[in-house]
Structure 1
Amino acid sequence: MNLDVWLWIAAGLLAAVLLVSTSKMFVPRERIAALGHAGEWVMDFSPRALRIIGSLEILAAAGLILPALLDIAPVLVPVTAVCVALLFACAATMRLRRGERATITADLIYLAIAVFVAWGRFGPQPFPT
Structure 2
Amino acid sequence: MEISYWIVAALLALVYLYAGGQKIIQSKEQLQPMMGWVDTIPMPYVRAIGVLEVLGAVGLILPPLTGIAPWLAIAAAIGFVLIQIGGIVLHLSRGEARLIGINVVLLAAAVAVVWLGTVWL
Q: Give the TM-score normalised by the residue count of structure 2.
A: 0.93
List 4+ stretches of structure 1 deviating above 4 A.
none
Identity %: 35
Q: Which AA in structure 1 matches 2:9? A: A
Match of 2:25 in 1: 26
Whether 1:74 and 2:76 are equivalent positions in the alignment is no
Find the aligned partners of 2:7 and 2:17 in 1 and give their Cα distance: 15
One-letter code aligned to 2:29: E
Quick check: 1:17 aligned with 2:27?
no
1:8 aligns with 2:6: yes
Alignment size in residue pairs: 120
Equivalence map 1:1-129=2 (5 Å): 3-22=1-20, 23-33=22-32, 35=33, 38-122=34-118, 124=119, 126-127=120-121
* Structure in which a larger fraction of residues adopt helix: 2
Structure 2, unmatched stretches of 5+, are none
Question: Equivalents in 1 of 2:4, 2:67: separation in Å?
Answer: 19
After superposition, what is the alpha-carbon deviation per residue over 1:64-102, rounded to whole angstroms, capped at 9, x for unaligned?
000011110111111211111111111111111111112
CA deviations 1:4-38 (Å, max 9, x no partner) are 211111111111111111202211112221x2xx5
1:47 partner letter: M
* Rounded Cα–Cα distance in structure 1 between residues aligned with 2:108 and 2:86: 13
Conserved 8 A contact 2:4-2:116:
no
Which has more radius of gyration?
Answer: 1
Query: Alignment RMSD, CA only?
Result: 1.2
Q: Secondary structure at the match of 1:19?
A: helix
State the secondary structure of the residue aligned to 2:100.
helix
Residue 112 of structure 1: CA displacement? 0.5
